[in-house]
Structure 1
Amino acid sequence: MTNDDNHRAGGAAEGDGGKTEREAATKAVLDNMARLRALRLAREAAMPQAGPSSKTKRTKTASPTAKRGGKKAEDDKPRPLSEWLADQQSSGRRT
């Protein structure tokens, strides 16, 4: 027998012992998850319902073109490609 065969035979020789240990560990994990879920739900139910949390609240920031020093567009329409290419060429960018 090789080492692999011994390893496989060792698992089979344990029989139900290894299986019950795995089942017990799985049951313990599932019980813990259920307990934690119940605690979280109880905590959320006890908290007053407020508006959106600070995590989901977004603040308005400058546009990406303003951060790069580009011109800020007056309207929300995108610039035509020809204008963008002309701007890139005038700023010294080469492709």
Structure 2
Amino acid sequence: MADGGSVGGSSDVEFATSTTHEWNHGLGETIAAAQRAGLVFDSLTEHDSAPWNALPGMMSEDAAGEWRLTADPRRLAAPFTLQAHKPVMPGVAGPSGMPA
């Protein structure tokens, strides 16, 4: 878990809520768990690089500081970003504690 003003290595965007949670799970496992939890997907983005050197000796850093496999970068299972939210049910307290 990390807490900071921006999300992503090269983003200039500031978020009001900036806590991120990171786990090493596959895309299918993550999607299925989010669906079981009743989350609604807002966006899903696969990235062709990672902001860290996940496989030392097998990756090359680009000019923006992102890391890709040196040989055939398409072979790497890409990091992804899933944004989702829990829908507010009428009459049920939302994040503020007040009923929706």
- What TM-score bracket applies, with the shorter chain setting the length? under 0.3
Quick check: which one's strand share is greater?
A: 2
Question: Which structure is larger by alpha-carbon Rg, 1 or 2?
Answer: 1
Q: TM-score, normalised by structure 2?
A: 0.21
Question: Which protein has greater RCO, CA pairs closer than 8 Å, 6+ apart?
Answer: 2
Q: TM-score, normalised by structure 1?
A: 0.22
Quick check: which one's helix share is greater?
A: 1
